[in-house]
Amino acid sequence: GNSVTQMEGPVTLSEEAFLTINCTYTATGYPSLFWYVQYPGEGLQLLLKATKADDKGSNKGFEATYRKETTSFHLEKGSVQVSDSAVYFCALSLSYGGSQGNLIFGKGTKLSVKP
């Protein structure tokens, strides 16, 4: 079936450290891929997206590249800030069939950034 696997958290980093959160997926067809962020007490917000192979999504210093050959969409940031502390979700959306428009999520990775 279709699924998303994220690295287990929590991840604790010092401010200005490099961040990588791994995400791999299994899907039939050609999914779109997303990273969402959830700050404490809030709903999910889109962080970035990619809709086809080799696309790179970027926003607020975060980047992720859609790698079809490795079925991966790893999230990276060169220098994290305390304000980046949140839970990050990788997700995919299928483009055909009855599940169109619905997201399949990973379990989330909690990031804590210390000053």
Partner 1 sequence: NAGVTQTPKFQVLKTGQSMTLQCAQDMNHEYMSWYRQDPGMGLRLIHYSVGAGITDQGEVPNGYNVSRSTTEDFPLRLLSAAPSQTSVYFCASSYSSRVVAFFGQGTRLTVV
Chain contacts with partner 1 (rule: CB under 8 A): 32, 34, 42-46, 49, 51, 89, 93-96, 98-108
Closest approach of Cβ 70 to partner 1, in Å? 21
**CA distance linking residue 15 with residue 17, whole number of Å:** 6
- The angle subtended at Cα 18 by Cα 110 and Cα 75, nearest 5°, is 55
Considering the complex, state which of residue 12 and residue 102 has its C-beta at the smaller distance from partner 1: 102
Considering the complex, state which of residue 77 and residue 93 has its C-beta at the smaller distance from partner 1: 93
Closest approach of Cβ 43 to partner 1, in Å? 4
Closest approach of Cβ 66 to partner 1, in Å? 13
Phi/psi for 64 (5° steps) reads -155, 140
Q: Nearest Cα to 77, choosing from 47, 38, 32?
A: 47
Considering the complex, state which of residue 12 and residue 79 has its C-beta at the smaller distance from partner 1: 12
Residues in a beta bridge with 110: 87
Considering the complex, state which of residue 32 and residue 77 has its C-beta at the smaller distance from partner 1: 32
Closest approach of Cβ 54 to partner 1, in Å? 16
Q: How many Cα atoms occupy the beta-carbon half-sphere of 60 within 13 Å?
A: 13
